Every structure is written in C-alpha cells, then in structure tokens.
Amino acid sequence: MEHEDIIKELGKEKLIGFYTKMVKIRSFEERIRFLFLEGKMPGTIHQYIGMEANAVGVCSALQKDDVIASTHRPHGHAIARGLSFNEIMAELYGRTTGCCRGKGGSMHLGNLEKGMLTAIAIVGGNLPIVVGMSLAFKLMKQNRVAVSFFGDGASNEGSFHESLNMAAVLNTPSVFVCENNQYGASTSIKKVMKIENIADRARSYGIEGVIADGMDVIDVYIHAKDAIEKARKGGGPTLLELKTFRFCGHSRRDPGSYIPKEEKESWQRKDPINNFKKLLLNEGLAGEDELDDINNLIEKELDESIIFAQESPEPAPEDTLKDLYATMEVPE
C-alpha cells in the first residue's frame, strides 16, 4: 500500500493518537532529564529520545491483552503501552505509588495488568522470557501475542540466538522487535557485527526477518501489525528490525561524544516527531493549534505527575523485606 492510502485507512483519530503518544514520550524524557540534572531524582536513566516511533508504532498494533517486554531503556515502551505518567514518575522517584512500588526504578518499569512485563535490565534478558510468555498463550489456546523490545547490541547475546530458534521451533506467537539505534552504549554496531541488517539473522532460524523505518511511526505500525497478526494467527515469530537512532546519550551521564557529528545530524533530520507533525499538517489532518493543545495537555499531565510522585509516600525502610516470596516471609 502507498503511504497516502495507508494514512487514509488509518484515519485521523489513530494518527493523532500516534502523535500524542510520541509527544508524551518525548516530553516525559525531556522533563525527567532536567529533574535528573537538578539532582531531584535518584538512580540512573536511559532515555528514548529519537526512538519514539518504535514504541508507539509497535504498541499501537497490539491488542489489550497482548504483552510486551522491555529493557534498560523502558520509558518509551511503558508510555506507549499505556502506563500512566503517575505510576511511572512515582516509580522513578522510588515511591510506593510507583508501578513497582519503588522496588524497580527506571530500569524495571512495568505493569503486567496493562500488558507490560517488569522491564529486564540485562541486555538480551527479556527475549527468552517472551518466548515463554507466548508459549503460555499457545498452550492456553489464547489468541495473544508477546513482543520483545531489544537493541542492536542485544542481538549479539546468546540469549537472542536461543530465543529466536526456540520460538521458531515451538512456533510461538512472538514478535522480536530489534530497535537498531546504531549503538550499544558507546559502541557502534559496525564494530560489533559484520552484517548490515540484523533482520537477516532471522534466516538462521527459518523465520521471517523484516525491516522497517524506525523514524516513521506509520512504517513501524504497518510492519508491526503484520508481524503481530501473523503471530496471532499461528504463523509463528518474526524478527522485526527498526532502523532508528537515539538523540541522547546512552545513559544520564553520557554526552555521546563517540557519535560523529554528521551521523547525529543526518539522523536528527529524520526526527520521528517533527516529520510526523509536518505530515499531519500537510495532509490537513490537524492544525498547529490542535497539536499545541495536545502538547500543552501533556505538559500539564506531566506537571501533575511530578507533584503526584513527589507527594507520594516513601516506602518504609522495612518494606525492603516485602514482595519477594508470594508464600512466605523473607527468612532471617
């Protein structure tokens, strides 16, 4: 289908929804960056700026009872999957109202009730778990799909290999979304793999490997939808590579000096939000005012979530001893 037709098919509401979600992520990330710089937030963070189209495109193609699994860089996934600013923000502040009651922090965001597993901060660590979640769906004969988000770097982990192969032979309803943002921490993928497309690795498992433009939410959405619906229909797993880039450092402390200026700039021209905004305006799907209103609403929601988080109760020190076992107290 041509881009134009697709836009028509998706319709205004959906597209504005994409925009809103992407801006939510971007605004959230910008805001907490300052909170961190000001020393108001504990811990460390890995941000999603520049990659918004990935999470939004994929999660928009999911049904309510599907499940995603995320990484050390989960803010975007959490927001796209529908976790509230409040529960995320409170978790970053380590409060009892956080989605993990303050036990998880930035790297372990999640809320299974909303279709997101507690994020796994071990690179490659969520892929085998996603195989298991989708295996459960298959065994329980539920038409649900499990999606793993992971990075280019993760695709060099043994867990990637074992997971894709196992999903292939068990024919589980899994989608493996590789967000290829060209770097794993400070390391360019060119240094750590001799192939151009990670999607090609799908061949090793006899499954389909697909590439989409991770800077274009519509392209991501379409390809994700195909993969997800294929999985749902019993067609087995897909490896979906999204070509993308992060416009921020790897983590809070990282100025990203290892990225050549030209590379950064060329990707910045593909800013998934700017370009999508232009498209909305050009196609007459929204006016500047309308979009500004969205932005303003989000900023307000953010303000409120910060207040919510800051005013939420700190856990008691002894809460450390809760939540480990379902069936017993922590033994002395």
Partner 1 sequence: MILSIAEALRKAIYDEMERDDKVFHIGEDIGIEGGFGGAFTVTLGLEKSFRDRIIDTPISEIGIFGAACGAAVMGMRPIVDVQYGDFLFCAMDQVANQIAKLRYMSGGKIKVPVVMRAPVGVTGRGSQHAQNMEPYFLSCPGIKIIAPSTAYDAYGLLKAAVRDDDPVLIFEHKLLYGAKGARKEEGAIDASSEIPDEDYTIPIGKAIVRKEGKDATIISHLLMVHHSLQAAKTLEKEGISCEVIDLRSLWPLDIGLISESVKKTGRLFIVEESPKQGGIGAEVSAQIAETIPDHLISPIVRIAAPNTPAPFSPVMEKFYIPQPERISKEVRKIIEEY
The binding site for Mg ion (CB under 5 A) comprises 151-153, 181, 184
Q: In what order do the strands lie in the sheet with 208-213?
A: 67-69, 146-151, 174-180, 238-243, 208-213
Indicate whether 195 belongs to the interface with ligand TPP (CB under 6 A): no
Name residues contacting ligand TPP, limited to 66-85 (CB under 6 A).
72-73
Indicate whether 51 belongs to the interface with partner 1 (CB under 8 A): no
Indicate whether 169 belongs to the interface with ligand TPP (CB under 6 A): no
Fill in the DSSP letter of residue 331: P
Binding partner 1 (rule: CB under 8 A), the pick from 50, 57, 74, 105 is: 105
CA atoms of 206 and 216, how far apart (whole Å): 28
Cα 179 to chain centroid distance, Å, stands at: 9
The residues that touch its own copies, with contacts defined as CB under 8 A, are: 156-162, 165, 168-169, 191-195, 200-201, 203-207
CA atoms of 51 and 61, how far apart (whole Å): 17
If the CB atoms of residues 164 and 302 are measured against its own copies, the closer one turns out to be: 164
Indicate whether 151 belongs to the interface with ligand TPP (CB under 6 A): yes
Element (H, E) at 163: helix 158-170
The tokens describing 117, both together, are 């597993």
* Interface map 249-288 toward partner 1 (x if CB under 8 A): ----xxx-xxx-----------------------------
- Helix axes of 158-170 and 126-139: crossing angle, nearest 10 degrees: 10
Q: Are 19 and 293 in contact (CB under 8 A)?
A: no
Q: How far is the CB of 156 from its own copies (least distance, A)?
A: 5
Among the candidate windows 7-15, 100-108, 216-224, 233-241, which touches partner 1 by CB under 8 A?
A: 100-108
Distances (CA, A) of 51 to 42, 207, 252, 272: 24, 25, 16, 7
If the CB atoms of residues 112 and 297 are measured against partner 1, the closer one turns out to be: 112
Terminal-to-terminal C-alpha distance of the chain: 62
Name residues contacting partner 1, limited to 152-211 (CB under 8 A).
153-154, 156-159, 162-163, 165-166, 169-170, 184-187, 191-193
Indicate whether 152 belongs to the interface with ligand TPP (CB under 6 A): yes
* Residue at shortest CB range from Mg ion: 151
Binding site for ligand TPP (CB under 6 A): 72-73, 121-123, 150-154, 181, 183-185, 250
